[in-house]
Amino acid sequence: MPDSKPPSKEAARLAELQRLCVLDTLEEQAYDDITRMAADICGTPMAVISLIDDKRQWFKSRVGLQVSETPRELAFCAHAIQTPDRPFVVNDATKDARFEANPLVTGDPNIRFYAGAPLVTSNGHALGTVCVIDREPRDVTPEQLAQLQFMAQQVILMLEAHVAPAAARSD
């Protein structure tokens, strides 16, 4: 299974992720609402707001999945952050050389379809995705992809707004 290579400027990307102080935080209704909307709009049983650190993919919010993180080397989202300017879509993971042997495809949760919109900060760093997942191969419409991108923008605005008041207090 081919690994995804770290994005260029990986150290700066990881520093920005740490600056947002979001990793390992509790569930929050606002993020859970976005995740549910993503699943509903795309008609998928699973949706996630994921963040990619140096070793793992951690889920800020999830629908249809029990786990709260996976190893980075298995994460579809680690591939998605390589192209921060556009959504990343895998219509059938069993027919994609990057994923056909991935344990998340060959075993639980049996991923077949993945579509993710990168979470890109105002500094241009892709930290993770808003993504939808299905156990069946499928297509996604341009309108659904546009909605995923809109949701990803909202997630970044929420994450950055959470840090801004703290930074203002420390000045």
Q: What is the pLDDT of residues 143-166, one digit of tens each?
A: 999 999 999 999 999 999 987 655
Angle formed at CA 165 by CA 161 and CA 171, multiple of 5 degrees: 135
1 within domain boundaries = no
142 within domain boundaries = yes
Summarize pLDDT for 3-17 with one digit per residue, the tens: 555 556 899 999 999
CATH code at position 94: 3.30.450.40
Q: Considering its fold, how many domains does the chain have in total?
A: 1
Residue 2 has pLDDT above 90, yes or no: no
Residue 101 has pLDDT above 80, yes or no: yes
139 within domain boundaries = yes
96 within domain boundaries = yes
Full residue range of the structural domain in which residue 78 is found: 10-166
4 within domain boundaries = no
**Which tokens go with 91?**
């219509």
Distance CA 111, CA 92 (A): 8
3 within domain boundaries = no
171 within domain boundaries = no
Which residues are registered as beta bridge partners of 62?
48
Residue 170 has pLDDT above 60, yes or no: no
90 within domain boundaries = yes
Residue 98 is predicted with a pLDDT of 96
Q: In what helix (H) or strand (E) does residue 49 lie, and over which residues does it extend?
A: strand 46-52
Residue 6 is predicted with a pLDDT of 59
Residue 92 is predicted with a pLDDT of 98
Summarize pLDDT for 26-82 with one digit per residue, the tens: 999 999 999 999 999 999 999 999 999 999 999 999 999 999 999 999 999 999 999
pTM score, two decimals? 0.90
Query: Is there a contact between 95 and 25 (Cβ–Cβ < 8 Å)?
Result: no
The pLDDT confidence band at residue 169, using thresholds 50, 70 and 90, is very low
